[in-house]
Structures are given as structure tokens and as C-alpha cells.
Amino acid sequence: MKLTSKKDINSDKTLHVGRPNIGNIDMFKKLTDNIIESRWFTNSGQMVKAFEKTLCEYLNVRHCIPVCNGTVGLQIASQAMELKGEVIVPAFTFVASPHALQWEGIKPIFIDIDPSTHNLDPSKIESLISEKTSAILGVHIWGRPCNTYEIQKLADKHNLKVFFDAAHAFGCRHNGRMIGNFGNCEVFSFHATKFFNTFEGGAIATNDDDLAHKIRLMKNFGFESMDHVIHIGTNGKMSEICAAMGLACFDKLRDLIAVNRLNYNAYYEHLRNIPGIKLIEYSNQDEANYQYIAVEIDEDKSNITRDELMYRLHDQNIRARRYFYPGCHKMEPYKTLYPSQIHNVPCTDALCKRILVLPTGNTVTLSAIKKICKIIKKSSKK
């Protein structure tokens, strides 16, 4: 089999959303050598143990259990909390959030978003609670924390579990605490397209010792010890090579966030005076990772629709993405299984027509950002 040469890969001038960052490459190579020499590739080896310890210390959380990806992390969390019936989840999210529930036999009840935050609107929670509701799954979209206080208050009032899909929110702080410390548990994704990645991977963070114990069992087929299975389980383990990548990325975490922030500020400066183009803002009170450059295009104030702009950028080799179009409620199997939910989320529908995500991360230079913004400015001028 002929592999693509290094020259071919580097000559691809396309700018992508989600181009992987690489942390400390020398460290990664050394750790990889250790893995090969030790012949210990998975099943809670030294790399995963070290990665877990690093995550717990950084997040100041009692447990942060590495898993093979964020989606399986959400499934394991749902099983470990013994969720059933219905779970309230935003329709504006990556489809993995409702898929993880549906896969576990739980019906996702789609809740609308607050247009000013893109996160689920807590004022809409109570009208969606039924006797079948077992939990609320909040999603920290773009790494901007949900209104965790309101969500938890309502969950406590109705005796519901709360967990958060924190796939976008590694490295973010909210009300003085790191994301990872809210609800019954929070689930991170360390997928290649996330600014902090382990190729594929994720982690479940919790301060609940009993829940952590169950999660540890469940991600390893329910094994308590050799030959001793005491629980339903799956294969949710992170491999050693993935944990090594996590350690190498962690070594450069501050730099990765600094680059995201620099890029965000550059986009902000270039886009701020263009009518109809609005870059999302990150709160000064919370600490952000700035990993998503999400802009809203208001076609009434601009000369162009979101889709026209996206295709214009694609023509110039800039692979902008319209995450999370058209909204989970309009994707299968949900639109067929739950047609009555399709008209319940008007703010999500409106946002899905407006949002465009632009490239950022270590591979995107400030001059590339200037070029992207120039195209946007030219295209949107009335």
C-alpha cells in the first residue's frame, strides 16, 4: 500500500475547521517509544494512569476517567446514573449528544436554546418535564458554560440527575470552578478536531466516588478483578498511545489556548465593523478556551446568506462549517421517531440558518485570518 507522501500532505493549502493541534511532539515520540518497548498498549497502563492523574489535578476534581471517546463517555455516564425514560437535551448540539441517549434506549426531549448564549434555555426546562424525565443533559456549546446554577436548581426541585456534555469545554472555568465539577458528572471529548486531543478520546469527570466506581467498572466490561465480572460493561477504555498524545498536548496546553485566543482576537478586530456579521463573545468572568470561531450571519443586514458565504469560502479552499445544521431534531432517527418535536425549537431553527464556524488553531496563521475576513467583508458588503 502506498501512503501519501509528507510532501503531498503539506502541499494541501486548504484551511480546515478542526485541523488537529499537536502538543509537545518530542515528548509524544519519547512516550511512544516507551509504549512500544514496554509492550503495554491498553487496559489502564502507565500512560493512562499518568494522564488521569494530570487531568484530576488540573481540573481539581476527584475523578476524571479517560475513555475511548466522548460519545461512549456519554453512554457510560447515562448507564452509570441509571437514566431511563426521557432526558432533556438541546437540539442545537453535535448529534452525538442525543445519539448517546437514544442508543441507551432513552428518548431525547429537545429543548430550545437561548439565542444570546446558544446554550439550552433554563426557562424552558419545566414545561418539558414529565413523569418519565430522569435527567437534564446540558451542553456547553463552543465552550461557553451553561447556566449550571439554574439547571441544577430545577433538577433538584424535580429530583432529576444533571450531567453536562463538555466536549467543547476542556480548560474552561465557570464561577471560579473548572468545567468538570458541575452536575453529577461531565463528559469531555478529546477528538482530533478538539483543540486538546488524544487522536480519539474523552473523559468523564465527577466528584461522586460511587458514580466513579461504577464508571470505572463499566468502561472495562464490568471487571472488578481478573475473572470477576460484577456489572454490565462495555469497552470504553482509552489506549496508551492516546493517553501519550494527551500528556504531550497537556504539556503545551497554555500555548494552545494562547494561540486560540490570539486568533479569536484577530478575527474579532477584522470582523467587528462588518454589518450583519457577529462573532460570538466569551465572557470575561469565565475562563474560555476560545476553540471555536463561530459567527452569526444576519442576512437582512448583510448582502449574503450564510450558505452563500460558506460556499464562497469553500471556493477559496476555506472549509468553514455550518455546525450543527439542521439541528438534531431534524436529523434521523429523531425527525421520524418524534415528529411532534420538530416545531418545538424555533430559536434553534433560526440559529441553524445563521451560524458558520471558521478555521482556527495552531495551523491557522494571522495572515490567513486576515485573508478569510477580507473575503467575508467583500462578500457581505451591501
Residue 159: φ, ψ to 5°:
60, 50
Assess 20 for contact with ligand T4K (CB under 6 A). Answer: yes
The interface region with ligand T4K, picked from 12-20, 36-44, 129-137, 265-273 by CB under 6 A, is 12-20
Residues 337-376 that bind ligand T4K (CB under 6 A): none
How far apart, in whole angstroms, are the C-alpha atoms of residue 216 and residue 366?
A: 43
Kindly give the pairing relationship between strand 63-67 and strand 223-225: unpaired
Assess 289 for contact with ligand T4K (CB under 6 A). Answer: no
Assess 242 for contact with ligand T4K (CB under 6 A). Answer: no
3-state helix/strand/coil string of 325-375? CCCHHHCCCHHHHCHHHCCCCHHHHHHHCCEEEECCCCCCCHHHHHHHHHH
- Whether residue 123 contacts residue 113, with contact meaning beta carbons closer than 8 Å, is answered with no
Residue closer to ligand T4K, measured from CB, 371 or 377: 371
Residue 29: φ, ψ to 5°:
-65, -40
Residue closer to ligand T4K, measured from CB, 69 or 133: 69
Among 21, 78, 79, 97, binds ligand T4K (CB under 6 A): 97
Residues 185-224 that bind ligand T4K (CB under 6 A): 189, 191-193, 202
The interface region with ligand T4K, picked from 65-73, 174-182, 235-243, 259-267 by CB under 6 A, is 65-73
> Which amino acid is it at 126?
E
- Whether residue 23 contacts residue 250, with contact meaning beta carbons closer than 8 Å, is answered with yes
The alpha carbon of residue 191 and the mean position of all alpha carbons in its chain are separated, in whole angstroms, by: 9
- Interface map 316-335 toward ligand T4K (x if CB under 6 A): ---x---x------------
Among 79, 93, 148, 341, binds ligand T4K (CB under 6 A): 93
Binding residues (CB under 6 A) for ligand T4K: these are 16-20, 69-71, 93-94, 96-97, 139, 165, 167-168, 189, 191-193, 202, 319, 323
